[in-house]
C-alpha cells in the first residue's frame, strides 16, 4: 500500500508539471495567427504513416538512419510496457496487462530486444556527438547549450534502456530461482541474466525493485524535460508529419488581401464582393512572433536540430549566413523570450525587439533561393521556406526594404509592367528592322 501511495503521489506530480507545461505552450499558440487549414485527412494519415512510422526520410542517410529508426520503433514498442508499469504502480500489481496468448509475449519480447538495440544505438549517437565532429551538428546557431541538451537527453535515454534491461534481467532470474511463472518472453534478458547467477534471492529482489523504480522515475523525468529540449520532437514529430503542408513544395501561397487588390485592378466589377470578403490586415508578412501561424510555431517545436536542412542548403553551403535550422531555433527562442511577456502584459506589449533583425538578419532572409531543398530533406516535414518568404514579404510590403537589384526590379514592374528598364511600348523594338508584320 505504501508503494502505491508513493507511486500515486509521484504520478500526480508528473502529470501536474506536464499539464503546466502543456498549458504554457497552449497560451503561446494562442498568440499566433490562424491560417493553416487542416483538410484531406486521408492523405495526411498516409504521409504520417510513411514519414513517421515508416521513417522514410530518415533512411535517406541509410546507416545512421537505420539506428534512428531502431530508436523510434523501439520507443513505440516499449511504450506498451511503460503503460503497463503505470497501471501496475497505481494498482499495486505485477504485469497487469498480461493475458494468456502470444500477443503479450511478442510485445514483451520485442520490448526486451529493442531495449538492447536502442541502448546500443544511443551509445553510437553519443560517441558520434562527443568524439566525431560531424559538420552537420556545428553552426553559429549550435551553442554549447544545444550540444549539452542533446547529450543530456541521449544519456537519459541510455539510462532508461539500462534500467529496463536490468529490470527484465532481475525479473527473469528471480522467477527462475523461485520457480515462479515468467510472464512474457525476454530473449535478451534471459541470456544476460546469467550475470546475476551468484546473487542471493533477496539481493535480486532488491535489484528488481531498484530498476523498476529507476525506470519509471526516469520516464516521468524524461516526459517533463522533453518539452524544454530539442528532444520534444519525440512527442511532436508524429503530429507534425500529419500536419504536413500538402501543396507542392515550390508553390507559394498567395496573400489573400493582395490577390484581391490585384483582382480589383484587373476587374473592377469584382470590387463589392472583394471588399466584403477580405478582413482588414494588421500586418503584411511576418515581423515578429505574433505574426507567425500556429503551424510555424508547431514546426519550431518539432525541430530536432539535426541540421539535415542546413547541410543541403545551397546558400549555407556557399558560405552565406542563412541556416534554415537557425530560423526554426530562432522562432522557438523568440517565443520563449516574448511569449510570456505578451501573456502577462497584453498584446500591446513591445520589448523594442523583433524576430527580424534582432534574431534573423535581412542578409539571411535574402540569401534564400527558395529552392526548397531544406523542406525536402527535413525528416519531420518542417516547411522553412514559406516562413522565410513571409518575413521577406514583411520587409518589402511594410518597410519597402529589399536588396538594391530587387528594388530596381520592383520599380520596373510598377512603372513598366515588366522587370526590365524599358517601357512596355518598346517591347517589340527588337523586331523593328526584321520586316515582321506586327498586328
Among 380, 387, 391, 395, the residue binding ligand SF4 under the rule CB under 6 A is 380
For ligand SF4, what does the binding mask look like between residues 262 and 301, x meaning CB under 6 A?
Answer: ----------------------------------------
Tell me how far the alpha carbon of residue 186 is from its chain's centroid. Answer: 33
Binding mask 353-372 for ligand SF4 (x = CB under 6 A): ---------------xxxxx
Grid cell digits, residue 185: 518472453
Judged by CB under 6 A, does residue 146 bind ligand SF4?
Answer: no
**Which residues in the 326-355 window bind ligand SF4 by CB under 6 A?**
328
**Of the candidates 90, 157, 166, the residue with the CA atom closest to the CA atom of residue 124:** 157
Smallest gap, in angstroms, from Cβ of residue 368 to ligand SF4? 3
* C-alpha atoms less than 13 angstroms from C-alpha of 213 in its C-beta half-sphere: 11
Query: Which is nearer to ligand SF4, 55 or 304 (by Cβ)?
Result: 304
Q: Check residue 385 for interaction with ligand SF4 (CB under 6 A).
A: yes
Nearer CB in complex with ligand SF4: 274/378: 378
- Cell 518568404 identifies what position? 389
Q: How far is the CB of 47 from ligand SF4 (least distance, A)?
A: 15
In angstroms, the CA 119 to CA 159 distance is: 8
| Nearest approach, Cβ of residue 112 and ligand SF4 (Å) | 30
Q: How far is CA 139 from CA 3, 73, 143, 179, 322, in A?
A: 48, 30, 8, 57, 10
Whole-number Å distance between alpha carbons of 146 and 60: 24
Residues 6 or more apart whose Cβ sits within 8 Å of residue 420: 412
C-alpha cell at 267: 476587374
Region of 95 please: left (phi>0), alpha (psi -120 to 50) or beta: left
User: Would you count residue 392 as binding ligand SF4 (CB under 6 A)?
Assistant: no
* Minimal distance, residue 413 CB to ligand SF4, in Å: 23
Residue 58 in contact with ligand SF4, rule: CB under 6 A: no
- Of the candidate residues 69, 378, 391, 395, the single one contacting ligand SF4 (CB under 6 A): 378
Residues of the shown chain interacting with ligand SF4 in the complex, contacts defined by CB under 6 A: 303-309, 313-315, 322, 324-325, 328, 368-374, 377-378, 380, 382, 384-385
Amino acid at each position: 500500500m505504501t508503494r502505491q501511495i508513493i507511486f500515486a503521489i509521484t504520478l500526480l506530480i508528473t502529470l501536474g508539471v506536464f499539464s503546466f507545461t502543456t498549458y504554457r505552450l497552449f497560451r503561446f499558440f494562442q498568440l499566433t495567427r490562424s491560417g493553416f487549414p487542416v483538410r484531406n485527412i486521408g492523405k495526411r494519415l498516409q504521409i504520417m504513416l510513411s514519414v513517421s512510422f515508416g521513417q522514410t526520410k530518415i533512411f535517406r542517410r541509410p546507416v545512421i538512419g537505420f539506428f534512428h529508426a531502431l530508436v523510434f520503433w523501439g520507443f513505440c514498442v516499449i511504450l506498451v510496457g511503460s503503460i503497463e508499469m503505470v497501471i501496475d504502480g497505481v494498482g499495486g500489481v505485477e504485469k497487469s496487462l498480461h493475458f494468456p496468448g502470444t500477443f503479450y509475449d511478442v510485445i514483451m519480447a520485442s520490448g526486451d530486444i529493442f531495449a538492447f538495440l536502442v541502448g546500443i544505438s544511443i551509445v553510437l549517437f553519443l560517441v558520434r556527438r562527443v568524439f566525431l565532429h560531424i559538420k552537420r551538428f556545428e553552426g553559429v546557431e549550435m551553442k554549447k547549450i544545444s550540444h549539452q541538451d542533446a547529450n543530456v537527453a541521449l544519456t537519459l535515454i541510455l539510462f532508461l534502456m539500462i534500467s529496463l534491461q536490468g529490470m527484465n534481467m532481475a525479473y527473469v532470474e528471480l522467477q527462475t530461482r523461485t520457480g515462479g511463472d515468467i510472464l512474457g518472453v525476454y530473449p535478451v534478458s534471459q541470456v544476460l541474466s546469467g550475470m546475476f547467477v551468484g546473487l542471493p534471492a533477496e539481493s535480486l529482489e532488491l535489484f528488481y525493485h531498484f530498476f523498476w523504480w529507476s525506470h519509471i522515475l526516469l520516464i516521468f523525468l524524461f516526459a517533463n524535460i522533453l518539452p524544454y529540449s530539442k528532444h520534444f520532437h519525440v512527442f511532436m514529430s508524429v503530429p507534425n508529419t500529419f500536419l504536413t503542408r500538402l501543396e507542392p513544395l515550390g508553390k507559394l501561397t498567395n496573400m489573400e488581401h493582395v490577390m484581391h487588390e490585384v483582382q480589383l485592378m484587373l476587374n473592377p466589377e469584382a470590387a463589392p464582393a472583394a471588399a466584403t470578403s477580405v478582413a482588414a490586415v494588421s500586418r503584411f508578412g511576418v515581423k515578429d512572433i505574433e505574426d507567425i501561424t500556429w503551424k510555424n510555431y508547431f514546426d519550431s517545436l518539432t525541430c530536432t536540430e539535426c541540421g539535415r536542412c542546413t547541410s543541403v542548403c545551397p546558400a549555407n553551403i556557399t558560405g552565406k549566413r542563412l541556416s534554415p535550422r537557425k530560423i526554426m531555433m530562432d522562432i522557438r527562442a523568440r517565443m520563449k523570450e516574448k511569449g510570456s511577456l505578451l501573456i502577462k502584459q497584453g498584446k500591446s506589449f513591445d520589448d523594442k525587439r523583433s524576430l527580424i533583425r534582432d534574431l534573423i538578419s535581412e542578409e539571411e532572409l535574402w540569401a534564400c533561393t527558395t529552392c526548397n531543398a531544406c523542406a525536402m530533406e527535413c525528416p519531420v516535414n518542417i516547411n522553412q521556406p514559406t516562413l522565410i518568404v513571409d518575413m521577406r514579404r514583411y520587409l518589402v510590403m511594410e518597410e519597402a526594404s529589399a536588396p538594391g537589384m530587387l528594388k530596381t526590379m520592383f520599380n520596373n514592374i510598377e512603372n513598366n509592367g515588366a522587370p526590365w528598364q524599358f517601357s512596355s511600348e518598346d517591347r517589340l523594338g527588337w523586331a523593328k528592322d526584321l520586316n515582321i508584320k506586327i498586328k
